[in-house]
């Protein structure tokens, strides 16, 4: 019977020290998985691993800057050392773009967005796929955004890289479809995380402004993204690959 029990599976998560990454790490651990919580900020990754252990789960933390091929390789080595194999990867780490019309975007900011939000997904998959092949298959979920499927004023760099994540996901899914590796993307709407706090300014007016984009009248919770990542990575999603799953309270539906 297909289910979403992840007992015995090992899950590798980037950006696991905060927001969507942390919620997903906790959810996978609660469903039986071994969780490798990685982040550029090792203290936050360790806090996530600690949270999991407090709840009786199994987790290790690793520092991993997703712009560094060496960091990614080392964190995956630590994964194999600790748990013996890799089954699921959630390539989620990302940064926001300051609101700015295209001609005012700093070249350094553009390069940073491409490195952290787009090239990182290529680098992570490049190192993860050989391990998943050794495991006889598995699941990769890459974090795109509602900004991966629509244009957003003041967000040219962010929308460019998040559209790019979806294109890369679809092509890579085709490359590996016959091997038992499924590769999908998620496209969250407005989710209540520290990133959204920074983006909205964290003020009541800022919150109201972003919530106004949500037909359901509220922000999403990180756990509501975690459940989608779990579905895509479980046997319940076994026939799904190359898909970009929008989970956004209707934000992009009526535009």
Q: How far apart are CA 8 and CA 21, in angstroms?
A: 20
CA 33 to the chain's CA centroid: 17
Spell out the residues 6+ positions from residue 170 whose beta carbon is closer than 8 angstroms to its own.
242, 244
Which one of 60-68, 100-108, 132-140, 174-182 is the stretch in contact with ligand NAD (CB under 6 A)? 60-68
Q: Give yes or no: 158 in active site.
A: yes
26 binds ligand NAD (CB under 6 A): no
Instruction: Please pick, from the candidates 116, 131, 166, 226, the single residue that binds ligand NAD as defined by CB under 6 A.
Output: 116
Q: How far apart are CA 117 and CA 93, in angstroms?
A: 7
Q: Among residue numbers 182 through 211, which ones bind ligand NAD (CB under 6 A)?
A: 188, 190-191, 193-196
Tell me the closest approach of the beta carbon of residue 134 to ligand NAD, in angstroms. 24
Which one of 16-24, 125-133, 177-185, 239-247 is the stretch in contact with ligand NAD (CB under 6 A)? 16-24
State the CB neighbour count (10 A cutoff) for residue 73.
Answer: 14
Q: What are phi and psi of 100, to 5 degrees?
A: -170, 135
Which one of 79-87, 90-98, 102-110, 177-185 is the stretch in contact with ligand NAD (CB under 6 A)? 90-98
20 binds ligand NAD (CB under 6 A): yes
Q: Which string of x and - marks every residue 145-184 that binds ligand NAD (by CB under 6 A)?
A: x---------------------------------------
H/E element, 98: none
Q: Beta strand 34-39 with 10-13: parallel, antiparallel or unpaired?
A: parallel
Active site residue ranges: 158
């Amino acid at each position: 019977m297909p289910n979403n029990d992840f007992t015995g599976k090992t899950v590798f998560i980037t950006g696991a020290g905060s927001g969507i990454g942390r919620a997903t790490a906790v959810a996978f651990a609660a469903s039986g998985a071994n969780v490798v919580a990685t982040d550029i900020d090792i203290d936050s990754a360790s806090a996530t691993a600690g949270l999991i252990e407090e709840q009786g789960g199994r987790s290790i933390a690793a520092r991993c800057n997703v712009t560094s091929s060496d960091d990614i390789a080392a964190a995956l080595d630590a994964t194999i050392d600790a748990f013996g194999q890799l089954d699921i990867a959630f390539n989620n780490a990302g940064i926001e773009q300051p609101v700015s019309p295209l001609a005012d975007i700093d070249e350094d900011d553009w390069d940073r967005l491409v490195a952290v939000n787009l090239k990182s997904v290529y680098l992570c998959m490049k190192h993860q796929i050989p391990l998943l092949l050794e495991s006889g298959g598995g699941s990769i979920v890459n974090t795109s955004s509602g900004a991966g499927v629509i244009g957003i004023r003041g967000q040219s760099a962010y929308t460019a890289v998040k559209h790019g994540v979806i294109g890369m996901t679809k092509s890579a899914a085709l490359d590996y479809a016959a091997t038992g590796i499924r590769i999908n993307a998620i496209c969250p709407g407005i989710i209540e995380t520290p990133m959204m706090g920074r983006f909205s300014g964290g003020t009541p007016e800022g919150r109201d402004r972003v919530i106004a984009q949500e037909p359901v009248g509220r922000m999403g919770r990180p756990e509501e993204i975690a459940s989608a990542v779990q579905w895509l990575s479980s046997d319940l999603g076994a026939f799904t690959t190359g898909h970009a799953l929008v989970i956004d309270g209707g934000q992009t539906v009526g535009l």
